[in-house]
Amino acid sequence: MSTSPMRGDRIIAALKQAGVGFVVALPDVTTSDALLWPISRDPDFKLVRVCKEDEGVAICAGLAFSGRRAVLLMQQTGLLDSINAIRAVAVEYEQPVVMLVGLQGKEPGIEPAASAKFAVGIVPPILDAICLPHLWLEDTGDEDSIGPAIEVAYAQSKPVCLLIGRPPVAP
């Protein structure tokens, strides 16, 4: 049975509802139209554009120490490039780094670990290997999982990785 993709405006509303005031980002084609462009125009967010994703891991940690909630928006290639910073700062230091990760190239309806795309299929086992909790978000209604995941991350001071399986619908 076919399903509808998530809606960007519902994701953005969930971020606001969870108290996220900062979005730290590198552009990702999966989330560009539905998330990053609207967020860049939204006065409720302070957007920090970074040059490399591991910067964002540390920026989110620094913001958390300053009592601010943030998400790091990136593509899975940037996640893979940042594994050492995530391993140390987010996982070992137990910091509430919340990552929204577009799975560029993933086939709709296929769970990430089962993807035929090598750069997608390796993501869940790598996250498991570094003990980083992750959720797969893809269809309408999955937006409802975002707020609780963020609340748990900040309540427990633990990172979480939200894997966005296909482009959400732009507002």
Partner 1 sequence: MMKRDEALALLARHVTDEAVVATYQAAFDWMRLAPRDLNYVSIGAMGIASSHALGLALGRPDRRVVVLDGDGSLLMNLGSLATIAGAAPRNLAHLVCVNGCYEANGSHPLPARDALDFAAIARGAGIRDAGTIATLAEFEHEIPAILRGDGPVFRALLVEPGAPSTQDYAFIHGAETRRRFKAAWSALP
Q: Which residues bind partner 1 (CB under 8 A)?
A: 22, 46, 48-52, 54-68, 70, 84-85, 87-89, 92-94
Least gap, CB of 30 to partner 1 (angstroms): 22
Nearest to 147 by CA among 50, 51, 15, 43: 15
Nearer to partner 1, 63 or 146 (CB): 63
User: Which DSSP symbol is given to 83?
Assistant: H
Calpha distance 158→110 (Å, rounded): 27
Pick from 149, 145, 132, 150: nearest CA to 90? 132
Task: Measure the N-to-C terminal CA separation of the chain; round to a whole number of Å.
Answer: 24
**For partner 1, the closer CB: 23 or 101:** 23
For partner 1, the closer of residues 103 and 150 by Cβ is: 150
Closest distance to partner 1 from the beta carbon of 70 (Å): 8
Supply the minimum distance, in Å, between the C-beta of residue 61 and partner 1: 6
